[in-house]
Structure 1
Amino acid sequence: MKRRFLTGLATAAMLTSVAVPVTNNMFLSNQAVEASATSDAFLSKVSLQAQKTSKKYGVYASLMLAQAALESGWGTSTLSTQANNFFGMKATGWTGATYSVKTAEQDGNGKTYYIVAPFRKYISYQASFDDYGLKMRTTLDNYGGLRYSKTWLENASSPSAAAKAIKAAGYATDKNYASKLINHITSYNLTKYDPVYSSDVYTVKVAKSGATYLYPTDHAVSPKRSYVTAGKDVTVTKTFTYYNGKKRMYLKGLGWINGEDLNTGSSQAPSADTSATVSGQMKILMHSAAIYTSTGAKSSVKSVKAGKSMMTYGSVTINGAKYYRINSASADQFIKASNFDGSPRKLKHNAYLYNSKGKRVGKSKWLKGSSHTVYGGSVKIKHKQYYIVGLNQYVKKGNF
């Protein structure tokens, strides 16, 4: 794909590149506010789609969002508004609807020229992001290898590394493409949409017999690699925890497996003489939480912020509530289990998803009567109470 610059980019996209007099402070202030509003609106609109594609295809959500922002001018280009095409995906090999638009190319010397070309037209935002994910996983190079494999979650050490890899693989002709993507990722804190990665190593039992897979993707995307049987001890060496709390874990020598296929919890409370035998289990903290002692008193240890992966060492009941022991099997430090595991609640009203800034995420809604996992107590965002239902996902408390 050589097309990178759409001529339909709107003013919001130009705000980050147009030179302005440094003496015009009022203009600069207005410019910054408008650019921020445009980027916030865009991320509220498509961040969830990026997170879903990240989980399905094992690619960085931050890289997708940076590319989508760069390619579509924060969702203002004609191609994105008329065809839901956020990545400049041309219609080559495409049998669906198309949309033609004037586009800029760069030759080998960096000189820009223009052509009119047909591009893919999608029925939804999600279809655009998923088509990008499919491209990253399945496109072959001239030698029959997987062209973008170095951008994958399991192969790229960071979103910046993935950005350099996608440029090296020839995704764009723009010589500064990688640096532009990295700038977007860092300037707009896009890594917060990526799955949480952990390299902690521990042993756990298989809960359900089944296949393991070559990639940390949806099973329909990845070839099978091996097979495990229920009750077998396996060693976890890598874990990705996604926006909805779901995990994919790499079993040493065996391949990737979904977290629910492993026994990652314990119902037996550790005691002074048995704690050394309790296996540590990795969990992600979905709700910021205080640390307690075994008597139920708040510890002097600083509270832990949501999104952190933590080792837990069995569960205990303190004053009628379930807690997980943390840090080590003998430490007198506990966190309420509801901050990790959550509890099911049924919606009394239709509800929308919001992010941590109180901005609505996407257009889809959860229906009245449906049940969802809620983590910890309610939190206040801009004077309103919300429940946490996933990483950076909130629903108004009054809807439950």
Structure 2
Amino acid sequence: MKKIVFIFCLGLLMVNCKSKKSIVTKKSNQTSISVEKPQEVIEEDKEKDVIEVTPKVYASSTEHYIDLHKNTAQQEMKLYGIPASITLAQGILESGSGKGRLSVEANNHFGIKCHGWTGAKIYHDDDEDQECFRKYKDAKYSFRDHSLFLTERKRYEKLFQLRKDDYKGWAKGLKSAGYATDRKYPAKLISLIERYKLYEYDKAVLGKSYKSQQVSDTSDKMVYTVSKGDTLYSISRRYNITVKELQKLNGLHDTNLSIGQVLIVQP
């Protein structure tokens, strides 16, 4: 009788253990399945993480050039005192908005010739055949060399006596100092500055000390805005003064004018 009871209890104990073990195993399987995500859900999560970036569209290569180099020009203005508007306008003009051979192959944006340069060089037809020009690893070095080129040469020192917002004075001063041989060089720079409002970058650097040339020193004087076809002679006839008087009133050293330029025509 004792043996029968013992065998019965042992069998009952084995059945209980087996049922507990199967329950634990089932829970383990349920846990592992719940952690996994279907492939469709994973792909959907990936799509949510993707950020679409729309490329900026420019109306012209010149606007693209300005956007690329405006910060560099402003930094050079802060360090060396050269108006950012002048630097950008010269870069646009000399490099063909970054598309000229010197800028593409040599990162030379200002047409600076070798002049004792010991770095890399490139040869290009300019005033003469196969003249030597400086070559840079990156465009930013061209902008820095442009700043050093102007600050380290005595013939440009008068430029730094001008106001930093006097882009017209700087444009004319560069020509007078011999930076370019083109007699229309100042007018071209001024035209670019006013067409693309490059003076706004000077304004951002100067802050409250900026003084717009369009309104400065003209509040108590009669002024005239130059339009297409105007010359100093025609304007002088209109206001019954001489060309020399016009030049003196406006600090002009030649007869070049640009559309939109504001002239004092009568004290």
What count of residue pairs does the alignment treat as equivalent?
153
8 A Cα contact 1:100 1:118, kept in partner: yes
Cα deviations across residues 14-36 of structure 1 (Å, max 9, x unaligned)? xxxxxxxxxxxxxxxxxxxx994
The reply to whether residue 163 of structure 1 matches residue 163 of structure 2 is: no
Q: Which residue of structure 2 aligns with residue 180 of structure 1? A: 188
d(CA) in 1 for partners of 2:162, 2:90: 20
Return the index of the structure with the highest Cα Rg. Answer: 2
SS at match of 1:86: coil
8 A Cα contact 1:91 1:120, kept in partner: yes
The reply to whether residue 125 of structure 1 matches residue 135 of structure 2 is: no
Q: Which residue of structure 1 aligns with residue 200 of structure 2? A: 192
d(CA) in 2 for partners of 1:72, 1:116: 17
Q: Which residue of structure 1 aligns with residue 112 of structure 2? A: 89
8 A Cα contact 2:83 2:165, kept in partner: no
d(CA) in 2 for partners of 1:54, 1:35: 25
8 A Cα contact 1:63 1:159, kept in partner: yes
d(CA) in 1 for partners of 2:147, 2:157: 12
Aligned residue among 141, 145, 151 for 1:137 = 151
d(CA) in 2 for partners of 1:41, 1:198: 28
TM-score (normalised: structure 1): 0.36
TM-score (normalised: structure 2): 0.53
Which residues of structure 1 form unaligned runs of 5+?
1-33, 106-113, 141-146, 200-238, 241-400
Which residues of structure 2 form unaligned runs of 5+?
1-56, 212-267
User: Which structure is richer in relative contact order (CA contacts within 8 A, separation 6 or more)?
Assistant: 2
RMSD over equivalenced CA pairs, Å: 2.3
Relative to total residues, which structure has the larger strand share, 1 or 2?
Answer: 1
Q: Which residue of structure 2 aligns with residue 353 of structure 1? A: none
Q: Which residue of structure 2 aligns with residue 53 of structure 1? A: 76
d(CA) in 2 for partners of 1:149, 1:54: 15
Q: Which amino acid aligns with 1:159?
A: Y
d(CA) in 2 for partners of 1:74, 1:153: 29
Query: What's the offset of the Cα at 1:161?
Result: 1.0
Query: What's the offset of the Cα at 1:155?
Result: 4.4
Which aligned segments of 4 or more residues in structure 1 are displaced greater than 6 angstroms? none
Relative to total residues, which structure has the larger helix share, 1 or 2?
Answer: 2
CA, structure 1 residues 122+54, in 2 after alignment: closer, same or farther (shift >3 Å)? same
8 A Cα contact 1:149 1:155, kept in partner: no
Q: Which residue of structure 2 aligns with residue 151 of structure 1? A: 159
Cα deviations across residues 145-196 of structure 1 (Å, max 9, x unaligned)? xx11232375455111111111111111101111111001101111111122
8 A Cα contact 2:107 2:137, kept in partner: yes
The 5 Å alignment of 1:153-302 reads 155=163, 158-194=166-202, 195-196=205-206, 198-199=208-209
CA, structure 1 residues 71+58, in 2 after alignment: closer, same or farther (shift >3 Å)? same
CA, structure 1 residues 134+154, in 2 after alignment: closer, same or farther (shift >3 Å)? same
SS at match of 2:112: coil
d(CA) in 2 for partners of 1:152, 1:47: 21
Cα deviations across residues 225-248 of structure 1 (Å, max 9, x unaligned)? xxxxxxxxxxxxxx89xxxxxxxx
Q: Which residue of structure 2 aligns with residue 99 of structure 1? A: 122
Q: Which residue of structure 2 aligns with residue 42 of structure 1? A: 65
d(CA) in 2 for partners of 1:197, 1:169: 29
